[in-house]
Amino acid sequence: MREWGTKPELAADAKPHWELIEQYDIIDFALGNKITGAGFPVYKDKGARLQRALINFFLDEARAAGYVEVQVPILVNEASGYGTGNLPDKEGQMYHATADDLYLIPTAEVPITNLYRDDIIATERLPIRNTGYTPCFRREAGSWGAHVRGLNRLHQFDKVEIVHITQPENSYAALDGMVAHIEGLLQKLELPYRVLRLCGGDMGFTSALTFDLEVWSGAQQRWLEVSSASNFETYQANRLKLRYRPEGTKTQLLHTLNGSALALPRIVAALLENNQTPEGIRLPKALHSYCGFETIGG
């Protein structure tokens, strides 16, 4: 749909993020593998502080845009997985605590949207706009190869989610607003990005329309998906029995939407790669006050 920013011109010996994190000792995959397994990194020192800074930055930006922050469980029951369309479909990608029949969430969309399961929402409460930070867990069964190296694909990662619930006639304007919010975050992080409108074959079956946002990874020389924003229309609301009652009429289904704002791993990868210099990695100004430092290394 559109593209923003200028791709960085890096030196011929520019390093991918998996070499940079080792050079500056900020993320340790070997330690994560030791205590858990592959795909569960340990963030250290400025790596851990950068993670916390990004989470707080994304939450503060969402709150400033009118989203109400919630903190939700990261384990959900089967009814919650069914309500958002994750079950029965993604059992093979979700971690399952079999003794209690609970699932580790693949995204905060699941518990946040289920806050309103079986509700009839008063019209004056609409639209509902929530944001929340959670760790996310995905088995990523069958993933392999160079394209999933380093932070490109993990089993556990951090993400700030935005969820929007509104009347059907307002949902596509809401989707445009969500995409604009995500673009604003990427612009403040000074990351070149592009917006893609997915064709039907690339969308999840629950979505009516999805936009993907991808950032440019300078050292890898490729685009990395960092967000999807979707309008599910009434698909989830029908499963959730999520309704409202317009004045003088029967109850009607609402529309639900969600977007990543943002997922951290590939954002971190792009920040490290695009901003590397011989003197260290220079972070964008938007993060300086959150991090308490302006550079990594040097």
Which residue among 129, 239, 243, 266 is the active-site one? Answer: 266
| 228 noted as active-site residue | yes
CA torsion angle 138 2 270 132 (round to 10): -50
**102-104/96-97 β-pairing:** antiparallel
Which residue among 153, 183, 194, 282 is the active-site one? Answer: 153
Which residue among 228, 233, 239, 273 is the active-site one? Answer: 228
Which residue among 19, 22, 225, 294 is the active-site one? Answer: 225
| 2 noted as active-site residue | no
Give the integer Cα–Cα distance in Å for 150 and 142.
16
| 143 noted as active-site residue | no
| 225 noted as active-site residue | yes
| 125 noted as active-site residue | no
> How far is residue 177 from each of residues 54, 61, 67, 159, 225, measured CA to CA in Å?
21, 14, 12, 19, 19
Choose among 64, 257, 272: nearest CA to 150. 272
Which residue among 61, 80, 109, 138 is the active-site one? Answer: 138
Which residues are tagged catalytic? 138, 153, 225, 228, 266
